[in-house]
Amino acid sequence: TISHWFMRLCADKGLLRRVYTQNIDGLDFQIQLPAEQLVNVHGSMGSVSCETCKEPYPYDAFRSAVESKIKDIYGTCLSAPSKSSQIKCPACGAATVKPDTVLYGSQLPRKFFECVDADMEGLDLLVIAGTSLTVGPANSVAYSVPDQCVRMNFNKEQVGEDLGIRYGEASTRDVFCEGGCDEQFLELMWHLGWLEDLLK
C-alpha cells in the first residue's frame, strides 16, 4: 500500500528509526523494509518457524507443505489432500511449524522489548497510523516517547486520549491527520516532494 511505501521511503532517506507494526499480513516483507528496522509486535504471516525449537522454516517450503498436507476445507483446491497430515520441523521433528504470528496469551517477540526503550530515546517524531491504540503493550509506544516528541496520528478517528494524546487547542505536540492512511500519506509525500520517489 502507499502507507507501506511511505515507510520504505523514510528508510531509504535515512529518516526511519524503526517500524512497530501490529499487522500480521507480511506486507512489510514485500516492500523489503530492512529487517533491523522492523518490529512485528504480533508476529507475521511473512515468516515461518518451529514453535518448539524456534528453527526458521523456509516460507516457500511451508507453502508447498500446506498445499500438499493440509485439507482444503473450502474445496477450492482440487489437488489438496482429503485428510490433513502434520508438517514436521526438520530440525527437531515436532509438528509445531507455523507462521510467526503471536497467538492470544503468548509472549510478544523479544525484539519488541529489546528495541522499544532505546528507540524512544531522543525521538523527535512518532508516526501513529491506522490503530485504535487499545492493545497493550504495543500502545505503550505512544506514551513512552520524550515529552518534546511530536506525535502524528494518521487515522479515521482520534484515538489515544486515555494515553495522554491531546487534540485541538489542548495539544502542544499531537497532530491529527484525519482520513484513510493511504490518502493522508500520499498527501504528506506530495508536500514533501516525494511523489517521484514513490513512482520509482
Out of 4, 18, 42, 151, pick the active-site residue: 42
Give backbone dihedrals phi and psi of 40, rounded to 5 degrees, phi first. -85, 90
Q: Classify residue 118 by its DSSP letter.
A: H
Q: Would you state the cell numbers that stand for residue 10, as one nine-digit string?
A: 523514510
DSSP result, 134-175: -STTTTHHHHHS-TT-EEEEEESS---GGGT---GGG-SSEE
Distance, CA of 73 to CA of 69 (rounded, Å): 12
Decide if 174 contacts 166 (C-beta within 8 A): yes
4 a catalytic residue: no
Positions marked active-site = 42
